[in-house]
Homo-oligomer: A and B are copies of this chain.
């Protein structure tokens, strides 16, 4: 294997799953950041292979995914379904690639670090399997706010309820939401009638949907698949990933995950309890000073974060900070973040940049 330094020091980057919702945003993110890359390669599903893309000024032809695709690649970002990730990550590693995987397949493996550059950047070096996992978008919405507060006051309990966007289900999710919105938008008479919106949507669009219930004019308290005890995989991911990234294996967590008719940007209502007495003013100041967090929090001017503020932006937007009235050492607050950007693409690219530095150094 040729060393990175012997090839001029600029690493070769691969993006697998380039044409999905996350893949497209990854291209945008790469174009906005310092171009530290040598060659860039892109792969996608069979139907997109052969078409062209422009990434960071390089005109690229989308390749089909084969073992040879990884030859000479230094770092590969994978955004593919979990089963494909579990299959292809070891193939890439066997060719000497450091893999950054955005699926949920490998996040639980104790030999695969789960890295958020603002929180645990040093963990990128702890990769005995050559794989680094990217947390899920809902965890990434809350994790650096929690890390800032944990550093000051020691997080002990977390109760969260999410408001998750359709794009968490990829391009097919975004398309379905718009399809449904176009069906219902012209039917004001139905908004108040039991079942009629559901019947209209299913009549016009069919029952096949990436969501287990209509999403337009509705909210759907089911994301992922069934895990033990009535919990969804999505809810347990928040628990497991938050514990792993913060290094708090005994953190007490309850999460309720709900899909809402928003295209992009997840929101989370957080009730967080700390070991030490937390003061809302000090907490707000700590978040104001956090580089990746924007505080939008002024009841007098009705300043608070919404998904429409977060979409297309890098930071997490935090607001509605309140001292819990009846719970000691507890704050309630609300966070919004772009689930495709920091919630997926941006974090992968940040991790890739850290790995590039590590390979060079």
Q: Which residues of A line the B interface, CB within 8 A? A: 25, 157, 159, 161, 163, 167, 174-175, 178, 181-182, 184-186, 188, 191-195, 197-198, 212-214, 217-222, 226, 229-232, 239, 251-254, 256, 258, 260-264, 267, 269, 271, 280, 297, 299-300, 302, 304-313, 319-327, 330, 332, 334, 340
Contact = CB atoms under 8 A, between A and B. Distances in A.
B194 A313 contact: yes
A164 to B, nearest CB: 10
A297 B263 CA distance: 27
A262 B221 contact: no
A197 B263 CA distance: 11
The binding surface of chain A is classed by DSSP as: mixed
Given A308-B213, A326-B254, A300 B263 contact: no
B159 A230 contact: no
Contacts of A306: 213-214, 218-221
Contacts of A185: 178, 181-182, 185
Contacts of A178: 185, 188, 191
B271 A254 contact: yes
B322 A229 contact: yes
B261 A217 contact: yes
Contacts of A330: 254
Contacts of A188: 174-175, 178
A194 B163 contact: no
